[in-house]
Structure 1
Amino acid sequence: MNENLSLAQKKQDELLKVIEESPEIQAQRPVFHFATFGGWCNDPNGFSQFKNTVHLFFQYHPYSTKWGPMHWGHVTSKDMLNWKLQPVALAPETEGDCKGCFSGTAIDDEGIHLIAYTGVSGKGNVEVQNQCMAIGDGVIYNKISDKPLITAKDIPFEYNKEHFRDPKIWKKDGTYYMACVIKQNDDNGALILFQSSNSRKWTYRGILDSSKDGLSKMWECPDVLNLDGKDMLILSPQEMKENYDLGFHNGNNSLYITGSLDYKNCKFARETRPENGYTAAQIDYGIDFYAPETTKLKDGRTIMIGWMQSWESYITPEDYMWSGMMTIPRELSYKNNQLYQLPIRELEKWKCNHENGILSSGDMALSTKKMGEMQRQFEYDLSINSKAGGKVKFILGNTENEYVVLEINLSENFISFDRTASRTPRAVSFRKAKLKSENDLMKVRILCDTCSMEVFVDDGRMAFTNAFFFTNPKSGLILINESSDSLEYFFCNIKKNKER
């Protein structure tokens, strides 16, 4: 083990010991979402099923709760809910990655776990990004070379060499493919493609697609997949401009584009979306969703996981020793020209204490007699008359001064989340989006963990993810029906049980 990797592992062991010995820190942490065991984490990396185990790597800085020289942390799971911490997989050390091991992906290559990642190198303040690779057995990983396998010399035109990153690797018909993003000289992002017969020597093929809509600049974290027979790109554009009608917000977004991937001519032909005449659609409309990555399991399901934060929404309390968590892994499907996403079915085994009822118009349902008695790991399902006027409010908090509000506004047709009164209301504290519902009976599924709320509308046709922090790990919950019709509700707790 090299020196930097050894130091990172020593720090990880120290952090884990502190958490194991501190009930207070354990109470801060989510129960059924992955969160870093200490230090900082951002993008999911190398999300893949290797042999019979699901592996999740992540951008990792074990030395503080702020972004720093990037390592790769590593956890594994059989059910994508219970995650087992593994040794630190990668650390900056070589000529190709001395300034950081940035994001990437992984595949099971005939019994070898093959990783593609971005290595950052350079001198002084000048940085260069190139593509590197590593192989492993599921626990220990070794870099194929001290030098990058793909550099600027392999791209037959000029571009901004500080922005060439986030390789997506896959294998089709015996050929390896790698798609990466670059920043062109006009500051717009582009997705370029390489191919290889042996995963070691790569040939540039061309530009698959590029930013040409005027709404964004650099792209990040590309994914290339075929979902239910439909070719799809997933991208995380930076510097987007707000467009409420299209569902885009200022800053970093994560979008999907459908179309047709032509391998021979190296082109992705976009489709125009029927609902808005545009070619891209938002994946998640909330504050805290970025850099999603997908994998296809052996059982045929396509699963996506994302970083439950964004660069403009850092709200980790200063006294925390950990920062960064992931969304619930989501099962994807594509139907009726729409991307659908729902929490993985494995979550059903964690549910208990079921309760259901009807809440009349103008009534209020309290989960506890007073604020501060309920653990925040639960699911609340609502069935609402989408044609009714008024609104439905979902208030979660532990004091009169510390709470968050989810509002479903039926009169004005929007959903919103407000964390202004939470512990850390800095950065982005409010977001609203047009409701995406086409059914008279609108189904709303609210998944709440210790410090997050993921909302799924109409069986996953719309997702709305937001994080928050409270002083107290317990909360009260109030559901207020201010609509003109009654609604049905279903409630259950979600509890971790190692025997399940």
Structure 2
Amino acid sequence: MKHKILKITYFCMLVACGLGQNTAIAQQKNESDQYRPAFHFTPKSHWMNDPNGMVYLNGKYHLFYQHNPNSSVWGPMHWGHATSTDLDHWDHQPIALYPDSLGTIFSGSAVVDVNNTAGFGKNALVAIFTHHNHKIEEAKTGLHQYQSIAYSIDEGKTWTKYEGNPVLPNPGIWDFRDPKVMWHTQSKKWIMTLATKDRITFYSSPNLKNWTKESEFGEKSGAHGGVWECPDLFPLSVNGIQKWVLLVSINPGGPAGGSGTQYFVGDFKEGIFSADHTDIRWLDYGADNYAGVTWSNTGNRKIFMGWMNNWTYANQIPEQGFRGATTIARELQLKKVGNEVYLSAAPVKEFNLILDKAAQLKYSAAKTDYDLSTKVTSFKGKYQLELTTAQKQSFSLRLTNDNGDELVLGYDAKNNTFYTDRTKSGQVDFEKSFPRVTTAPRISKDNHIQLKLILDVTSAEVFADNGLTVMTNTFFAHSPLTQLHIKSTKPLLIQNLKYAGIKSL
């Protein structure tokens, strides 16, 4: 009887949500898309937050995401779904996972079960996610979050929830969520990396159904300004030596206030993670990159995508018809600086597919003002700019429009920091902390500055020194930022500068 009730409930929700989504899309056509990004992923309509279940199979990248199909604010969570063959162009798919009698569908991951360990079929896609039961939460028992699985044998088109859910019951921890699962070759087991309040707990399983606790990490490590969320664990090599990287999102307590993602570099042996460093390190120092994880089943490449928003104001940003976007896809690599190993992030090579042919400028004399407005005006607020300076000297990029909106980013040599200032960038009064300046330490020891800016209508993603320092910030200018000046108080020599428009998708 329990399964019949569950199926009837699921069908009713399917019909109701489907009607709601169609109505939402129709309404969207009558609303302003002024702030919809040109080339970042967004839902067709309504709310999105964390990327979920990111997995690659047979030439397709699957992106699932936290989605409320009936409102543009956070609400009952579903897994939205989109696919891509190039990480640029995304095809919207039907909602993959709906709430059921066990709860709404919170964040999680997906894997390709190559060896059919779960018995659902060879190469079945298996989603591992958190069920969040609001009724139990209201009772304040602390058992409202638990881990469940679903599987697909048609490459993600349809999904079946496992009848034995939950596969990992809650042991009495209030925050017990966001499972990121991978196959661990050395132990020949699945490893689940789970956020458990103020630390990470690792579990292992031979079949994705039966889980055993292995260890904990983080109670006295890293930043603890808020609850730990959306972890990820994966290996990367640097100079031929394999290391392990642990990503942990935190809210609040991020480097720019509100949400942020820290990382640890270390080793993972016999179910135990140990970090090589004691300092706090951030994947992105901007205000708007949260809950990001990497794609499964991509071999040695580790491709990351985050939610381009911040919980401080996520429900209030002035987008209409939809709310929320992802960062562009980024490839993560380890790089050695002195005796330390850092995690870098840079746009994936596939991003070049949507760039127009780049123009290159070389300068032989130093200036205090490089006026590039005539070069970028036609791009209407969406372009890529790359520059390399001849020396380590302060400079700023000032992006403006005829409305007087101004976004400023640059390098401060005195403090050896990069920064983004959006205090005068347009609509900033919808939440008191939004008009902020974000800063990031310079990690590179080079004597010249290398900086790449990717601008898209409402976002500025800055990759400095080949991705050693990254800042992602959103803004809401009244019209596209079509004017650009590079300024410095003392003459600055830019050795090389390239710019290119970016295609709308």
Distance 1:445 1:212, change over 3 A: closer
- Structure 2 counterpart SS, 1:285: coil
**Counterpart secondary structure, 1:162:** coil
Structure 2 residue 162 is the aligned partner of structure 1 residue 162: no
Give the CA deviation at 1:56: 0.6
Question: Counterpart of 2:192?
Answer: 178
Does residue 1:364 correspond to 2:370, yes or no? yes
Q: How far does the alpha carbon of each residue in 1:279-325 deviate from its partner, in whole angstroms, 9 at most, with x for none?
A: 44110011111111012554631101111112124375446111111
Map of 1:114 onto structure 2: 126
1:381-432 alpha-carbon deviations (Å, 9 max, x no partner): 01113433xx322222323432321132223322221222233313332212
Q: Counterpart of 2:385?
A: 380
Q: Gapped runs of 5+ residues in structure 1?
A: 184-188, 243-247, 273-277
Q: Are the equivalent residues in 2 in contact too, given 1:30–1:449 (CA < 8 A)?
A: yes
C-alpha offsets along residues 37-60 of structure 1, whole Å, 9 cap, x if unaligned? 211111110111023210011111
Q: CA deviation at 1:496?
A: 4.0
Match for residue 269 of structure 1? Answer: 274
CA contact (8 A) 1:394 1:406 kept: yes
User: Residue 5 of structure 1 contacts residue 90 of structure 1 at CA under 8 Å; is this kept in 2?
Assistant: no
Q: Give how far 1:214 is off.
A: 6.8
Task: Tell me by how many angstroms 1:355 deviates.
Answer: 2.2
Which amino acid is 2:387 matched to? Answer: L
User: Which of 217, 222, 235 matches 2:231?
Assistant: 222
What do residues 364-392 of structure 1 show as CA deviations (whole Å, max 9, x unaligned)?
Answer: 313239x976412210001113433xx32
Aligned-partner Cα distance in 1 for 2:212–2:67: 30
Rounded to whole Å, the distance in 2 between the matches of 1:24 and 1:473 is 15
Paired residue type of 2:248: L
For residues 84 and 18 of structure 1, the distance between their equivalents in structure 2, rounded to whole angstroms, comes to: 20
Query: How far is 1:447 from its partner?
Result: 0.7
2:325 counterpart residue number:
325
Change (3 A) 1:315 1:116: closer
Which digits, 9 at most, give the CA deviation of each residue in 1:166-210, with x for residues without a partner? 001112244222121112xxxxx1211222222122223332443
Q: How does 1:327-342 map to 2 (within 5 A)?
A: 327-336=327-336, 337-342=341-346
Secondary structure of residue in 2 paired with 1:13 = helix
The alpha-carbon distance between structure 1 residues 299 and 170, as it changes in their structure 2 partners (threshold 3 A), is closer
The corresponding residue for 2:4 is none
When residues 23 and 475 of structure 1 are mapped into structure 2, their CA distance, relative to the original with a 3 A threshold, is farther
* Distance in 2 of aligned mates of 1:190 and 1:6: 39
Matched, 1:143 2:148: no
Q: Deviations over 1:94-153 (max 9, x none)?
A: 2x22xx21110111112211001111113472361111111123111121137422112x
- Partners of 1:300 and 1:215 lie apart in 2 by 31
Identity of aligned residues (%): 28
Quote the Cα distance in structure 1 between the aligned partners of 2:470 and 2:307: 14
Letter in 2 for 1:416: Y
Are 1:292 and 2:292 counterparts?
yes
Distance, in Å, in 1 between the alignment partners of 2:390 and 2:22 is: 51
Alignment-derived partner of residue 236 in structure 1: 249
> What is the aligned counterpart of 2:451 among 417, 433, 444?
444
User: Which deviates further from its counterpart, 292-301 or 431-440?
Assistant: 292-301
Q: Sort the Cα spacing of 1:67 and 1:23 in 2 relative to 1 into closer, same or farther, 3 A.
A: closer
1:374 and 1:476 in contact (8 A); partners too: no
Contact 2:222–2:280 (8 Å) recurs in 1: no
Q: Which residue of 2 aligns with 1:303?
A: 303
Paired residue secondary structure (1:292): strand
1:413 aligned partner: 416
Shift of the 101–349 alpha-carbon distance from structure 1 to 2, 3 Å rule, reads same
Which stretch shifts more, 193-202 or 40-49? 193-202
In 2, Cα distance between the equivalents of 1:366 and 1:290?
32
* Partner in structure 2 of residue 103 of structure 1: 107
Alignment gaps of 5+ in structure 2: 1-9, 115-122
Q: Secondary structure of 2:439's match?
A: strand
User: Does the aligned pair in 2 maintain the 1:258–1:279 contact within 8 Å?
Assistant: no
1:40-79 residue pairs with structure 2 within 5 A? 40-79=47-86
More divergent stretch after superposition (163-172 vs 76-85): 163-172
Counterpart contact for 2:52–2:64, Cα < 8 Å: yes
Q: Write the deviation string for residues 433-471 of structure 1: whole angstroms up to 9, x where unpaired.
A: 223331112110001112111011111111111111123
Q: What is the identity, as a one-letter code, of the residue corresponding to 2:178?
A: D
**Which of 400, 403, 406 matches 1:403?**
406
Aligned-partner residue type, residue 179 of structure 2: P
The reply on whether 1:134 has 2:140 as its aligned counterpart is no
- Residue type matched to 1:262 in 2? K
| Distance change >3 Å, CA 214–CA 14, structure 1 → 2 | closer
One-letter amino acid of the structure 1 residue matched with residue 166 of structure 2: P
Contact kept, 8 Å, 1:436 with 1:457, in 2: the verdict is no
Which position in structure 2 is the counterpart of 1:245?
Answer: none
Q: Give yes or no for the alignment of 1:429 onto 2:435.
A: yes
Query: Cα distance 1:315–1:362, how it changes in 2: closer, same or farther (>3 A)?
Result: farther
How many pairs align? 465
What secondary structure, in the 3-state scheme, does the structure 2 residue paired with 1:82 have?
coil
CA contact (8 A) 1:414 1:435 kept: yes
Partner of 1:351: 355
Residues 1:31 and 1:400: Cα distance change in structure 2 (over 3 Å)? closer
Cα distance in 2 between the residues matched to 1:470 and 1:249: 20
TM-score by length of 2: 0.85
RMSD: 2.5
In structure 2, relative to structure 1, the CA distance for the partners of 1:118 and 1:296 (3 Å cut) is: closer
The answer to whether the 8 A contact 1:50-1:107 is kept is no
Contact 1:103 1:117 in 2 (8 A): yes
Aligned to 1:186: none
What does the per-residue CA deviation read over 1:64-119, in whole Å, with 9 as the maximum and x for residues that have no partner? Answer: 2211111111100000110000001112112x22xx21110111112211001111
User: Scaled by the length of structure 1, what TM-score is found?
Assistant: 0.86
The answer (yes or no) to whether the contact 1:133–1:145 under 8 Å persists in 2 is no
CA contact (8 A) 1:169 1:179 kept: yes
Q: Structure 1 residues 398 and 457, CA, compared in 2 at 3 Å: closer, same or farther?
A: same
Contact 2:182–2:296 (8 Å) recurs in 1: no
After superposition, the Cα gap between the structure-2 partners of 1:47 and 1:126, relative to the gap in structure 1 and judged at 3 Å, is same
Cα displacement (A) at 1:483: 4.1
